[in-house]
Amino acid sequence: VSQTSTAPNKTLEHLPMCPEKPPELVGRFDTNLNPVMLAAVERKYPEVTMGGHYHPKDCRAREKLAIIIPCRKREQHLYILLNNLLRMLIRQKLDFSIFVIDQDLPTTFNRGMLFNVGFLEALKRDNFDCFILHDVDMVPTNDHCLYKCSPNPRHFLGGLSKWKYGLPYSSYYGGVVSFTRWQYEKINGGSNLYFGWGGEDDDLRSRVMGKGYNMVRYPKEIGRYDTMSHKRDSGNGDNPVRFQLLNKARERQDQEGLRTTKYKVTEITETQLFTRIKVFINMTE
């Protein structure tokens, strides 16, 4: 495992702090959801270096950001996301690293647990301040949607293309969320118990509220996302026990979550645009 240095980069010390809203930002931009080859995306972003790291060269970024993308058999969506997302992150003058957390087949998808794994594995590699937990198929369309942390955990989506740029219900918490290291530890991360589709995002919101945070979200125009349409993945059927789990979310919060996440890393690969961590999750533990 290659370790990224946590020592401050000497050559950056004399640089001014990056602006919170760089003048280069353009607001709304067009997305390209067409299939793309990874090699083409790599060529497009030569400034991103092995393992998926980038930092601005003309200013000091305000925080060290880890973007955690759970992924299970969605390679094409991952490349489309990167093709669109990286340009925006570079424009926002962020110091970021991209981690793809890939769940070994054939176990049922566990999005909450993969977030916990991403958080723990990222911290083994660098001293990240901010974590953005990101669905593989959600593409931002407005660069004023700043990929940074704030005093409260943030839900980024104000609207999604498949819901006519609205949300399905006002407490929806899926898609893209940010946590500082401290915030994610305080809520004890996501629940590890949701295998299959549905509910884990509602549980995450319940944990956020359970620790006294406010619901913070970008406005509709800024948190405007496009999504790739797809059929429900095999191995990610509706979780039949999600209602029962969600009913007890608050009571479980301190017993189960980040601090009880058990997994086995089976493979680590570094490509230019991301570090991929493959994990085996034992469904019966």
Q: Is 19 in the site for ligand BGN (CB under 6 A)?
A: no
Q: Assess 199 for contact with ligand BGN (CB under 6 A).
A: yes
Looking at 87-213, which runs of residues are DSSP E strands?
95-103, 130-134, 138-140, 154-155, 159-160, 176-180
Does 202 sit near ligand BGN (CB under 6 A)? yes
Q: Classify strands 176-180 and 130-134 as parallel, antiparallel or unpaired.
A: antiparallel
Instruction: Provide, rounded to whole angstroms, the least separation between the CB of residue 59 and ligand BGN.
Output: 37
Give residue number: closest CB to ligand BGN. 198
Residues 208-247 within binding reach of ligand BGN (CB under 6 A): 242-243, 246
Residues 6 or more apart from 43 whose CB is under 8 A from it? Answer: none
C-alpha span between 46 and 245 (Å, rounded): 45
Cβ neighbours for 194, distance < 8 A, ≥ 6 positions apart: 110, 111, 112, 113, 200, 203, 239, 242, 245
- Tell me the per-residue interface mask from 160 to 189 with ligand BGN, x by CB under 6 A, - otherwise: --------x-----x---------------
Q: Least Å distance between CB 230 and ligand BGN?
A: 13
Nearer to ligand BGN, 215 or 268 (CB): 215
Tell the residue number behind the tokens 């957390």, with chain if given: 101
**Looking at beta carbons only, is 70 or 199 nearer to ligand BGN?**
199
User: Contact region for ligand BGN (CB under 6 A) — 44-52, 62-70, 150-158, 193-201?
Assistant: 193-201
Length of the chain: 285
Beta carbon nearer to ligand BGN, 189 or 199: 199
Strands 224-227 and 159-160: parallel
Rg over alpha carbons for the chain, rounded to the nearest Å, is 18
- For ligand BGN, give the closer residue by CB, 128 or 225: 225
**Closest CB to ligand BGN among residues 69, 246:** 246
From the list 159, 144, 171, the residue with the least C-alpha distance to 227 is 159
In whole angstroms, give the CA distance from residue 150 to residue 213: 11
Query: Quick one: 148 or 205, whose CB is closer to ligand BGN?
Result: 205
> Is residue 95 close enough to count as binding ligand BGN by CB under 6 A?
no
Give the SS3 label for residue 133. Answer: strand
> 87 or 162: whose CB is closer to ligand BGN?
162
Least Å distance, CB 249 to ligand BGN, is 10
Residues numbered 246 to 285 that lie near ligand BGN (CB under 6 A) are 246
**Contact positions vs ligand BGN (CB under 6 A):** 168, 174, 198-199, 201-202, 242-243, 246
